[in-house]
Amino acid sequence: MKANVWYGREQLHVENVPDPKILNPRDAIVRITSTAICGSDLHIYDGYIPGMLPGDILGHEFMGEVMEVGSEVRNLKIGDRVVNPFPISCGACFFCQQSLHSLCENSNPNAWLAEKLWGHSPAGLFGYSHLLGGYAGGQAQYVRIPFADVGPIKVPEDLSDEQVLFLSDIFPTGYMAAEQCGIRQGDTVAVWGCGPVGLFAIKSARLLGAERVIAIDRFPARLRKASQWADAETLNYEQVDVRQALEVMTGGRGPDACIDAVGMEGHAHGVFGGYDLLKQSLLLETDRPTALRQALLACRNGGTVSIPGVYGGFLDKVPFGAVVNKALTVRSGQTHVQRYMRPLLELIQRGSIDPSFVVTHRLRLEDAPRAYRMFRDKQDSCIKVVLKPWADVPTVEPDKVQENGRILH
């Protein structure tokens, strides 16, 4: 089969690899019809995720058709159309029983490695480093899904791939980020980063009853999406002082909740920006927590800072004093996707949200290396790329694309 294989920083090759096979009784093999590039895949692309090995197959947002099931998988049958959650969860351990699926105790074959770095191991993930299991990912034509009786859910035929694909990660991730804010009537929520997760967090905060949502980014196309799609107020941090603007907008008190949908590769100007880049490149810190610093300082006393953005290791100059002295609640976690898939599918079916709005580019799997670069550099107003592993979509150069940024097949 064809798969998008990682060989190092900015080195991706779409090449032929062996087809996956059933390895355990609870496995299933799925023929992938749509697969997406996640913002967190860019951290791998840029070489910031530890524990990657050359030859790893990327991708953790995918859906498709069940081709084969193991002897213990009884809830799926060949031909079912399924969306798959990115964490691999057994459904039986202490954490899975509490719907904390991304903390599954039984799915990471390299748990001891993760324990060395973080104290305890979370669940294994698809295509996301050997620290998290080293599972082959889904930017490929086929994928093997462990614990297939717990993860993938069947989706109705009347919804398109793009309407349900993001149940695999970014919709639940944005939703959980907003849910963790404990939004109450009249609340103002500020969201750093208007990439796909940020946009879903903004929309979800609205769905959960936030009075105002303030979107922070520097790319006009992304801010425009936030305002058009989720009626957010927007701040372009290249044009205004975000802290000051938030103070003015909230009567000096600060937002009730802040969401950091940026993560480890935060972009910053000035002294701090250079400082973090230098330290990160010297391996003196693993992450550039620009957005997190700002969110902690901006949040109102007693407020909540929710972190869906990915951080991997050791952060520097994080104002933890603000957490203590302002009595902040900090919430984070890899998303417990399994917990959210069915309720969110219902929201889609009811028409409360159409997740396909984030898609800006549809490309072939072969275009993955180019698509990563485009997504990373925000060329052509790229927000979300969907790859088609089987479709023969004609290759379109980014500069030939229409103003609205869509490549249609």
Using CB under 8 A as the criterion, which residues of the chain lie in contact with other proteins when the complex forms? Answer: 1, 3, 5-7, 13, 15, 17-21, 23-26, 53-57, 72, 88, 90-94, 97, 105-113, 120-121, 124, 130, 133-136, 140, 144, 146-147
Residue length of the chain: 409
Name which of 126 and 171 has its Cβ closer to other proteins: 126
| Ramachandran quadrant class, 87 (left: phi over 0; alpha: psi -120 to 50; beta: rest) | beta
| Closest by Cα among 76, 72, 74, 86 to 41 | 86
Decide: 330 and 231 in contact? Cβ < 8 Å: no
| Ramachandran quadrant class, 252 (left: phi over 0; alpha: psi -120 to 50; beta: rest) | left
Q: How far is the CB of 166 from other proteins (least distance, A)?
A: 25
Name which of 19 and 241 has its Cβ closer to other proteins: 19
Q: How far is the CB of 238 from other proteins (least distance, A)?
A: 39
Largest CA distance in the chain: 61
Name which of 92 and 248 has its Cβ closer to other proteins: 92
Name which of 88 and 268 has its Cβ closer to other proteins: 88
Name which of 41 and 260 has its Cβ closer to other proteins: 41
Name which of 126 and 357 has its Cβ closer to other proteins: 126
Q: How far is the CB of 91 from other proteins (least distance, A)?
A: 8
| Closest by Cα among 271, 321, 308, 314 to 289 | 314
Q: How far is the CB of 2 from other proteins (least distance, A)?
A: 11
DSSP secondary structure letter of residue 140: B
- Cα–Cα dist 333/272, whole Å: 26
Q: How far is the CB of 312 from other proteins (least distance, A)?
A: 17
Name which of 53 and 248 has its Cβ closer to other proteins: 53
- Other CB atoms within 10 A of residue 7 CB: 14
Sequence-separated (6 or more) residues with CB below 8 Å from residue 271: none
- Cα–Cα dist 153/66, whole Å: 11
Decide: 100 and 84 in contact? Cβ < 8 Å: no
Q: How far is the CB of 107 from other proteins (least distance, A)?
A: 5
Q: How far is the CB of 149 from other proteins (least distance, A)?
A: 10
